[in-house]
Structure 1
Amino acid sequence: MAVISVFDIGGSKIASSTVFMAASGRLPSDGVSSIPTPVEDYAALLRTIVGNVPSEAEAAGVSIAGLVNPKAGVVRAANIPCLAGRPFREDLERETGKPVFLINDANAFGLAEASLGAGADHSSVFAVILGTGVGGAVVVDGHLLQGAGMLAGEWGHGPASAMRTGRPLPRWRCGCGQTGCIDVYGGARGLERLHLEFTGRRSCSFEILRDWEAGDAGALETLDIYLDIVGGALAGIVNLIDPSILVAGGGLAGNDKLLRALEQEMRARILTPDQAPSLVAASLPGNSALLGAALFASGELSKR
């Protein structure tokens, strides 16, 4: 049984646990703790991680929101500025004396759901993050597809369009530096900005969805455009990689009606609508990124 110390680092908090990787695939844990993320102090961030790695751990798996290069051991995370240009994995390995494996949080989520959650009975899984922004991961036969540039699954950073509704989209700049990425329209903040743009009303994403379900005219207009953008983008994903299921996580994925509407939009726009994969909500508990980090670290450790 491998003992893996796992972390999920976000812009406000770090979740940590110790996961025991049994040969049966069961993943008992000693519970999850949460501590604030020192986003501006790199030395404090290292101390926080190192101080929570128990001596019996064979390795550490670290899930983090941002652009992760597991081979180089570096991270670009806009909400954790102290990581910029730092050899994060190298420093953690030096301080802990243990191998450390970094993974993007969307990849960790996708690996967990494909191995233990809603995608466990499927050979090809596309994980869809519908949170503050959008993200994703590709898992084939239980293996995470990362790609030459570690960018596989980053569907949020292609150009957005609304071809069915024919609505010209505002030219919003994305955090990646490009203009008009799917990410700036497809997440919760994007939905809110679209609603303000097209109705003049400032509402949070949950209020917009509530009004949409109640038949409010403004919310119906906003969601029609949103579904055009996001459902169309998902159709492109399905045509490109042909997954057998799409598993959605993040705050917006908690709305079942939205998922059904996105699936319908996607199904109508793929090449084989009669063979369309289902779009389903994630089935694992909220700390799936920790499980994904454990699975990733355990798999990489076994290769050594």
Structure 2
Amino acid sequence: MAIVCFDIGGSFIKGAVALTAQDITPLVPRPTPLDDFDAFAATLIGVIAESRIRPERVALSITGIIDPETGIATVANIPCIHGRPLQRDLQARLGLGVLIANDADCFALAEAGLGAGRGHAIVLGAILGSGVGGGLVANGRLVNASGGFAGEWGHGPILPSYAGDPPVAIPAWDCACGQTRCLNTVGGARGMERLHFEVHRAELTSREIVDGWQAGEAESVKTIDLYVELVASPLALAVNITGASIVPVGGGLAKSGPLIERLDAAVRARTLRRFGRPLVVPGALSIEPGLAGAALLGLGVADAG
């Protein structure tokens, strides 16, 4: 089997030829047309032509959600595909079968098939990037195969009004999803920065906060203490509900091994199942997880072993 897979971002479209799960060859990235669907489809056609194969299908990782009932795509950062029945429209333009999944779902699928989740029946992929995302794989299959929101542990009005010792008030920040008190408002890099400013009235980047914490700087230590407390409980609840036995983490904050180790210890202290080994771990893939996940989606995860 041969497919072409895509990682669709707001800046670039990354493509690759996938022959097997272990044979994924990236192609030259191309700028993403944001406002012209004809140009968007033409870019995909150009990448397929560059691949010099006739793929059996194409598979896309997107920074958005496909409604499982209507097939309508919600992709706010790429207006030309936002609000479209994207699978149907692309199949008509490309003349090929099209599979589409959210980028966090593709991360989870890639880690389950090729990375830290290999050998685990239930894998909860967690994204700690600019915000919080997630995807769920059960028995080698993506739960969101037809689109949907499974694994999105960063949303819902779950944050407490107070946290820390002594207690600190946690504002009811508005989330981009339309709710308030979502973990997404504090759990990603921008949320960590927001939390630090709320407590200390000082503007630092998430990297500066993490570096300061590791250096023992008091303000950053307090912020990370709060951050871990706020993130660990929802993640432990997600583990309890899904039965996940491993939680690979992707996104910018996952690059800090000590932070993930600290979060892992806090999560394992809160789960019903007692784990005597790491549960929350950095993602292990060297290849782009969006491309790898889209490749597995297109190939069929059975090929991942």
Q: Same fold (TM over 0.5)?
A: yes
Partner of 1:37: 32
Mean Cα displacement is larger for which, 286-295 or 145-154? 145-154
* 8 Å CA contact 1:9, 1:65 repeated in 2: yes
Within-5 A mapping of 1:216-295: 216-274=217-275, 278-295=279-296
Partner of 2:156: 158
SS of residue in 2 equivalent to 1:247: strand
Within-5 A mapping of 1:169-188: 169-188=170-189
Mean Cα displacement is larger for which, 237-246 or 127-136? 237-246
Name the CA distance, whole Å, in 2 between partners of 1:117 and 1:271: 25
Q: 1:147 to 1:284 in 2, by over 3 A?
A: closer
Name the CA distance, whole Å, in 1 between partners of 2:301 and 2:209: 43
Gaps of 5+ in 1: none
Name the CA distance, whole Å, in 2 between partners of 1:192 and 1:40: 31
Cα deviation for residue 301 of structure 1 reads 11
Name the CA distance, whole Å, in 2 between partners of 1:32 and 1:168: 49
SS of residue in 1 equivalent to 2:47: coil
Name the CA distance, whole Å, in 2 between partners of 1:170 and 1:164: 11
Deviation by residue 1:84-107 (Cα, 9 ceiling, x = unmatched): 222221121111111000111111
Within-5 A mapping of 1:43-192: 43-54=38-49, 55-69=53-67, 72-146=70-144, 150-162=148-160, 165=164, 166-192=167-193
Cα deviation for residue 80 of structure 1 reads 1.4
Cα deviation for residue 247 of structure 1 reads 0.6
Name the CA distance, whole Å, in 2 between partners of 1:103 and 1:185: 25
Mean Cα displacement is larger for which, 161-170 or 94-103? 161-170
Percentage of pairs with the same residue: 41
Within-5 A mapping of 1:184-203: 184-203=185-204
For the aligned residue pairs, the C-alpha RMSD in angstroms reads 2.2
TM-score, normalised via structure 1 length:
0.91
Name the CA distance, whole Å, in 1 between partners of 2:60 and 2:125: 19
Count of aligned residue pairs for this structure pair:
297
Name the CA distance, whole Å, in 2 between partners of 1:125 and 1:85: 30
Q: 1:49 to 1:72 in 2, by over 3 A?
A: farther
Name the CA distance, whole Å, in 2 between partners of 1:192 and 1:20: 42
Name the CA distance, whole Å, in 1 between partners of 2:302 and 2:40: 24
Aligned AA for 2:296?
Answer: L
* 8 Å CA contact 2:172, 2:180 repeated in 1: yes
Name the CA distance, whole Å, in 2 between partners of 1:297 and 1:29: 12
Cα deviation for residue 230 of structure 1 reads 0.6
Cα deviation for residue 121 of structure 1 reads 1.6
Name the CA distance, whole Å, in 1 between partners of 2:25 and 2:4: 10
SS of residue in 1 equivalent to 2:253: helix
Within-5 A mapping of 1:200-215: 200-215=201-216
Cα deviation for residue 207 of structure 1 reads 0.8
SS of residue in 2 equivalent to 1:29: strand
* 8 Å CA contact 2:125, 2:134 repeated in 1: yes
Name the CA distance, whole Å, in 2 between partners of 1:73 and 1:186: 29
Q: Determine if the alignment matches structure 1 residue 9 to structure 2 residue 22.
A: no
Gaps of 5+ in 2: none
Q: 1:301 to 1:258 in 2, by over 3 A?
A: closer
